[in-house]
Amino acid sequence: MSLKSTLRAATALTLITAGSAFADAHSATITIATVNNGDMIRMQGYTDTFTEQTGIAVEWVTLEENVLRQRVTTDITTNGGQFDIMTIGMYETPIWGANDWLVPLNDLSAEYDVDDILPAMRNGLSHDGTLYAAPFYGESSMVMYRTDLMEAAGLEMPTAPTWQFIREAAAAMDDPANEVNGICLRGKAGWGEGGAFITVTGNSFGARWFDEEWNAQFDQPEWADALNFYVNLMNDYGPEGYATNGFNENLSLFNQGKCGMWIDATVAASFVTGADSTVADSVGFALAPNAEGVEKRANWLWAWALAIPAGTQQEAEAKQFIEWATSKDYIELVAANEGWANVPPGARASLYETPEYLEVPFAQMTLDSINAADPTDPTVDPVPYVGIQFVAIPEFAGMATEVSQEFSAAYAGQQTVEEALAKAQAITNEVMEAAGYR
Amino acid sequence: MARSVTPRRKLINTTIAWAIGLLIFFPILWTILTSFKTEAQAIAAPPIFLGFEWTLENYRVVLERSDYARFLWNSIIIAGLSTLIGVAIAVPAAWSMAFVPSKRTKDILLWMLSTKMLPAVGVLYPIYLIFIELGLLDSRAGLVVVLMLINLPIIVWMLYTYFKEIPGEILEAARMDGATLPQELLYVLTPMAIPGIASTMLLNFILAWNEAFWTLNLTAVNAAPLTAFIASYSSPEGLFFAKLSAASTMAIAPILILGWFSQKQLVRGLTFGAVK
């Protein structure tokens, strides 16, 4: 090849490269970090619709929940700028918002109708009255039970059962000969797994993590009552190895007809009544229980929400996406293509005013459960923190994971309830002291 | 004198070896089988071993949802380049330690290995900040460097062990024949240590292929390898085990095939010395 033709080829290549770079610079692409669950995956399938409407391309980074937490925390605290939108929960949002790590969502368009977001969700995703993340879907927890087994046992599930009734029903439905456990509950270590469940159970027995001076309260009788009740209930009527069961393990057991009752996230309702469930036609729902005489119920509040990290170069485009993905129009788009049972639940009040959606068997109970949860007043006695199944302080995740490990050891019979509570008390006080709360 | 092995003894040994082999391989076999089940069959209790209707649906869904080719290409580039560069650095290092040892050689070897004792998460933030400064986040170049560095101690140690078995006289003879240092390394040492170098490269390729801490934490879209591909199918809320198994099978298939074809070389390199 002559020098002349080499130069020509090089010039052409440079022009083509420069041209494509120019084109790239004018077609925005946003990167979204998200979790792998049914609603999020469904949203990814509709991304093309958003791109067609706005010309904004979307790149997805889907990760397992704990990996995502670590990944986005690293990125946001170092101002790494890898993501334009992050999927985060109710625990992170107020803490990150307080640190100015998130872009406030206080200028959403009028058509978006921010007032339509359920108050519980708005409060949980705000800091000092400013919304920092828009809920994509929200959930509480409730009782899911087998209506056929309940009927055979001659019992009727009240809309708002007590723990005492739950124990009675578990005893009546427990049928080891047919591999049916009276009740399935989370016992797996982890602040978001068994830790979340035992915290709300504690709330429903009148327990709390801290008093108003941030002193740990695991040495109080309410915690002993809650933990002893849980361990006895599960030892008597729960599945073998429940200390390592989390959401998925219990979902698997329930779908195979091996649980009379399961108390867990409202989002599970669509799974247990879905195509993969062998008991889909005989599932009923009730509010999460409380101990007799205690006003607080064992239901939590959680949302997976979309937030914009401060420092993104694509703030306007990211806001456009959030408005689209958490809008009423998106819900209608999913309903039109996949049916009302598959729309993201628990975020917008208008969804629960839609007659078609109210025909979905678990719709009303989900709303009632969400409305029954108040993160600003989670316990019987006053507390200095916000959050129902968590305490919205940065130290909580590590501390609660340790505490839940001690509880799981008690479930597995490796130590007594009293020993687990004593260790929880020591761990919690030590962390709070080191962090300067007390 | 060689000990004679009776047919009975041979049969017992073979049976035990197969049983252990199958036990070790069972999780992979189970993953592969699960990838051909429906989600309901994947969680059935008691588990279904073979008596299920085989389906390719999970692979269809995974291929539709993810850009498998991009993840695969990133894995090949990252694992391949980090191994090649690592070996290029480790050969002269191991040569000097094996043939021109100093008083501190043993200490240096131990110090190199000690870098593997620090949990990776302990240096996540410094590395992340350096990557931000250098613009290396979500780049294949950045991951190549990191994986090369974290595997380098193992490469040097393995090569050092092989080189130690090569008689120094052979290299001396080459020098007397007028070979320069690069010629000595390239034309005398390397050919003699080929089985060792090949098995070292293969082992490090596998280590780099499977590395899941740095590859998940330093990538987003452009440089994400197959470990990120698998992670995207893991879900704490929802039963997607069949799809996760399909993604895992697709991620391990290339390395399994590579291992299958090169097992002779790998076993030879790991069990024999350089001059045996």
What is the 3-class SS of A59-96, one letter each residue?
EEEEECHHHHHHHHHHHHHCCCCCCCEEEECCCHHHHH
Using a CB-CB distance cutoff of 8 angstroms, which residues of chain A are in contact with residue B216?
A: 63, 67, 71
Q: How many Cβ atoms sit within 10 Å of the Cβ of residue B86?
A: 26
- The verdict on A172 and A47 lying in the same domain is no
The answer to whether the beta carbons of residues A124 and A376 sit under 8 Å apart is: no
- The verdict on A116 and A217 lying in the same domain is no
For residues A15 and A3, give the distance between their C-alpha atoms in angstroms, rounded to a whole number. 18
Q: How many Cβ atoms sit within 10 Å of the Cβ of residue B3?
A: 5
Question: Is the confidence at residue A263, as pLDDT, over 70?
Answer: yes
Which pLDDT value is given to residue A13? 45
SS3 A117: strand
Question: Is the confidence at residue A140, as pLDDT, over 70?
Answer: yes
- The verdict on A165 and A246 lying in the same domain is yes
Asked if residue A175 is part of any domain, the answer here is yes
Closest of A389, A335, A345, A387 to residue A368, by C-alpha: A345
Asked if residue A306 is part of any domain, the answer here is yes
| pTM listed for this prediction | 0.84
Asked if residue A102 is part of any domain, the answer here is yes
Domain boundary among A358, A377, A402: A358
To the nearest whole Å, the CA of B204 is away from the closest chain A CA by 25
Using a CB-CB distance cutoff of 8 angstroms, which residues of chain A are in contact with residue B129?
A: 78
For residues B198 and B191, give the distance between their C-alpha atoms in angstroms, rounded to a whole number. 11
- The verdict on A59 and A200 lying in the same domain is no
Over residues A137-153, mean pLDDT: 96
Asked if residue A104 is part of any domain, the answer here is yes
Element (H, E) at A175: none
Phi, psi (deg, nearest 5) at residue A24 = -60, -40
Which pLDDT value is given to residue A36? 85
- The verdict on A113 and A39 lying in the same domain is yes
- The verdict on A197 and A157 lying in the same domain is yes
Is the Cβ pair B220, A193 closer than 8 Å?
A: no
Which pLDDT value is given to residue B115? 85
Residues 6+ away with beta carbon under 8 Å from B90:
B152, B155, B156, B159, B200
Tell me which chain A residue has its CA closest to the CA of residue B38. Answer: A276
Band of pLDDT at residue A22, cut at 50, 70 and 90: very low
Pick from B43, B221, B237: CB nearest A265: B237
Band of pLDDT at residue A318, cut at 50, 70 and 90: very high
Q: What is the CATH number of the domain that holds A162?
A: 3.40.190.10
Taking any CB pair shorter than 8 Å as contact, residues of chain A touching chain B are 31, 33, 35-38, 41, 44, 59, 61-67, 70-71, 74-75, 78-83, 192-193, 246-248, 251-253, 255-256, 258, 265, 267-268, 271, 276, 278
Q: Which two tokens stand for residue B244?
A: 């996760």
A215-234 pLDDT per residue, tens: 999 999 999 999 999 999 99
Band of pLDDT at residue B47, cut at 50, 70 and 90: confident
Using a CB-CB distance cutoff of 8 angstroms, which residues of chain A are in contact with residue B221?
A: 31, 59, 61
Question: Is the confidence at residue A12, as pLDDT, over 60?
Answer: no
Which pLDDT value is given to residue A1? 44
Q: Could you give the ipTM of this predicted complex?
A: 0.81
Tell me which chain A residue has its CA closest to the CA of residue B244. Answer: A36
Pick from B39, B221, B233: CB nearest A61: B221
Asked if residue A6 is part of any domain, the answer here is no
Per the structure, the complete domain to which residue A174 belongs is given by: 141-299+393-434
For residues B93 and B159, give the distance between their C-alpha atoms in angstroms, rounded to a whole number. 9
Asked if residue A388 is part of any domain, the answer here is no
Band of pLDDT at residue A27, cut at 50, 70 and 90: low
Band of pLDDT at residue A14, cut at 50, 70 and 90: very low
Number of domains within chain A: 2
Using a CB-CB distance cutoff of 8 angstroms, which residues of chain A are in contact with residue B232?
A: 36, 61-63
Which pLDDT value is given to residue A48? 94
For residues A41 and A167, give the distance between their C-alpha atoms in angstroms, rounded to a whole number. 37
Over residues B130-157, mean pLDDT: 95
A74-104 pLDDT per residue, tens: 999 998 999 999 999 999 999 999 999 999 9
- The verdict on A205 and A252 lying in the same domain is yes
Is the Cβ pair B44, A65 closer than 8 Å?
A: no
Question: Is the confidence at residue B276, as pLDDT, over 70?
Answer: no
A341-381 pLDDT per residue, tens: 889 999 999 999 999 999 998 999 999 999 989 888 999 99
- The verdict on A133 and A56 lying in the same domain is yes
Using a CB-CB distance cutoff of 8 angstroms, which residues of chain A are in contact with residue B226?
A: none
Is the Cβ pair A31, B220 closer than 8 Å?
A: yes
Question: Is the confidence at residue A201, as pLDDT, over 70?
Answer: yes
Which pLDDT value is given to residue B270? 67
- The verdict on A41 and A113 lying in the same domain is yes
Stronger pLDDT, A26 or A105, i.e. the higher one: A105
- The verdict on A259 and A352 lying in the same domain is no
End-to-end CA separation in angstroms for chain B: 19
A400-423 pLDDT per residue, tens: 999 999 999 999 999 999 999 999
Band of pLDDT at residue A311, cut at 50, 70 and 90: confident
Question: Is the confidence at residue A6, as pLDDT, over 70?
Answer: no
B54-104 pLDDT per residue, tens: 999 999 999 999 999 999 999 999 999 999 999 999 999 999 999 999 999
Over residues A65-70, mean pLDDT: 85
Question: Is the confidence at residue A19, as pLDDT, over 70?
Answer: no
Asked if residue A399 is part of any domain, the answer here is yes
Which pLDDT value is given to residue B273? 56
Asked if residue A204 is part of any domain, the answer here is yes
Over residues B1-5, mean pLDDT: 65
Residues 6+ away with beta carbon under 8 Å from A151:
none
Give all domains of chain B, ordered by start, each with its CATH number: 66-271 (1.10.3720.10)
Give chain B's mean pLDDT: 90
- The verdict on A236 and A349 lying in the same domain is no
Mutate to test the interface with A, among B65, B235, B243, B244 (most CBs of A within 10 A): B235
Which pLDDT value is given to residue A137? 92
- The verdict on A326 and A401 lying in the same domain is no
Question: Is the confidence at residue B274, as pLDDT, over 90?
Answer: no
Is the Cβ pair A74, B40 closer than 8 Å?
A: no
Which pLDDT value is given to residue B192? 86
Which pLDDT value is given to residue B1? 53
